Structure 1
């Protein structure tokens, strides 16, 4: 029989590396090389004690690599503190922050709710102040005035007149035996006595009596006279909206076949102040000739040529101006009724 010799070693076997350690090392080396290719880590060999913790995910925007391979977080950027953080209104305000007049005022401290932003109001408030042309034109219109005498009393609803005129008419006789007074001449003067209108007028009916002694009208004056309807239209356009002064003016309006508002009518034959100044009783009708002589020291309606309607109208306006202020104050307190 052959003999079998067995060499048995009962000592501890030498340690050997496990497959698990090898696999971790391989993954480490693989990831390190990947980071080195990307430039995140330097190729310099790091000590084993300072091996950084590697991240599979790419670095965040807030982190930057250090020299030793570790990552440090950057401080977050400073943002404007608003009550409504992250909302659409905040993003819109950040975009418009470069425009000063579109940036709303900051909200008050301690308010838990965001105040509503009125961009339209901010825009309008930042615009330069421009005076209103409408208000400027209205102010100029109110300052315009073509007449400097005191305002007439025409009641609260009556429009104030812009001008004042005096009128005087001369009549001729028409109808049966010439008893009907018809207009044959009309003269209108302004506040300063300038003649605005002076025309001979042809009555619609045949003239029976020219009344030359008083009217100064003669047959030759009617040759080129203006027809009554045309003259009436011209005269009424002048009188419309104005204060009309006359002596016994109701006779002139009757000849014109016209009615003027009493609030815009001044009859010098019915102003007690004129009679008082002339030394006459206040309750009587004094003729224009006598008032002119006593108050203006002038004689009118003299001679055989008859009256002049221009002269009478000018004298009437001068008489009225003597008592204008006092009489207008009286009418303001006692407006006439139509």
Structure 2
């Protein structure tokens, strides 16, 4: 009896252990399934986030490309307006000059400087003059420098103290000058010194500096690579005496001299600029012989042997 009871008790314990084992196994499987589902869900979320980032990056790149194309188009339009001719005829790789400009589009500029800063060694504009193609004055004003004047340089500039008492403030004068020069071909002698003092950036293809062109030096019989003063060029080529007054230079007189020097070589100068910038057009006549059968692959020629 006792043995039968022990046997029954052991069988019941075994059944309980087995059921517990099954229960625990199912629970483990359920937990694994839940864990895998969560892992898959996280993985999908990460995938969606990465795809969204990639899409945003592509949209950003597309926007950048659109902006770049818009900027290039805008620059091209500005270049065509400034230069006075279309980029289809003259490519933007040259980017400098136009055909011979009309009289309405040419002005000449000259500035007189005074010394400011330490030792009066800084150049600041105290007078600026602009004349049109016919020499008529478009602008001629005394300009008040931004810093205190240390050296008037009257012997060269012609500026005296009383000229600056009611002079136009520099910022105001600069805006007026930029407005006049806009869209114009600007002639001058060592004109980049004037642009620097005025803090003006004028398009290079619309500047004619009589100091640097070889044409005037050649006419004046001056050695190559030598910069000649406006006074010497005016004397030799225009038979005109300028900058001779001990009271100083006159910016109107200097602007007219630079303009007349430009007119002496205007056609040749503009033609030279066009030649420097004109693209070489492909000669289709010279390339016609490449259409002959001998230059085509064998599998294209109708008489080719297979």
Q: Same fold (TM over 0.5)?
A: yes
Instruction: Name 1:307's counterpart in structure 2.
Output: 249
Instruction: Please list every run of 5 or more consecutive structure 1 residues that lacks an aligned counterpart in the other structure.
Output: 1-150
Match of 2:118 in 1: 176
1:257 corresponds to which of 199, 202, 209: 199
Report the CA distance between 1:210 and its aligned residue.
0.3
1:324 aligns with 2:266: yes
C-alpha change, 1:271 and 1:152, in structure 2 (3 Å) is farther
1:1-338 correspondence runs (5 A)? 155-157=90-92, 163-335=105-277
TM-score (norm 1): 0.53
Distance 2:236 2:85 in 1: 26
User: What SS does structure 2 have at the residue aligned with 1:331?
Assistant: helix
TM-superposition CA deviations, 1:194-220 (whole Å, max 9, x none): 100000000111000000000000000
Large movers: runs of 4+ above 2 Å: 151-162
Measure the CA separation in 1 of the matches of 2:153 and 2:85. 36
User: Deviation digits for residues 30-62 of structure 1, max 9, x if unmatched?
Assistant: xxxxxxxxxxxxxxxxxxxxxxxxxxxxxxxxx
**What is the TM-score with the length of structure 2 in the denominator?**
0.58
Q: Distance in 2 between matches of 1:248 and 1:335?
A: 23
Q: Secondary structure at the match of 1:304?
A: coil
Q: Secondary structure at the match of 2:215?
A: helix
1:333 CA displacement: 1.2
Take 1:250 and 1:243, find their aligned partners in 2: how far apart are those partners? 14
Distance in 2 between the 1:321 and 1:258 partners?
24
Distance in structure 2 (CA, Å) of the matches to 1:241 and 1:296: 28
Match of 1:280, SS?
coil
Seen in structure 2, the aligned counterparts of structure 1 residues 268 and 152 have a Cα distance that, compared at 3 Å, is farther
Unaligned runs of 5+ in 2: 1-83, 279-306
What do the CA deviations read for 1:145-170 (whole angstroms, capped 9, x no partner)?
A: xxxxxx89995456956510000000
**Residue 211 of structure 2: SS of its match in structure 1?**
helix
Q: Indicate conservation of the 8 Å contact 1:296/1:319, yes or no.
A: yes
Aligned partners of 1:173 and 1:181 also within 8 Å: yes
Using CA pairs below 8 Å that are at least 6 residues apart, which structure has the higher relative contact order? Answer: 2
CA contact (8 A) 1:174 1:208 kept: yes
Q: Deviations over 1:170-190 (max 9, x none)?
A: 000000110100010000000
RMSD over aligned CA atoms reads 2.1
Aligned pair count?
186
Partner Cα distance (2:250, 2:185) in 1: 22
Q: Distance in 1 between matches of 2:180 and 2:276?
A: 27
Residues in 1 aligned to 2:257 and 2:160: alpha-carbon distance in whole angstroms: 23
- Which structure is higher in helix share? 2
C-alpha distance in 1 between matches for 2:234 and 2:85 = 23
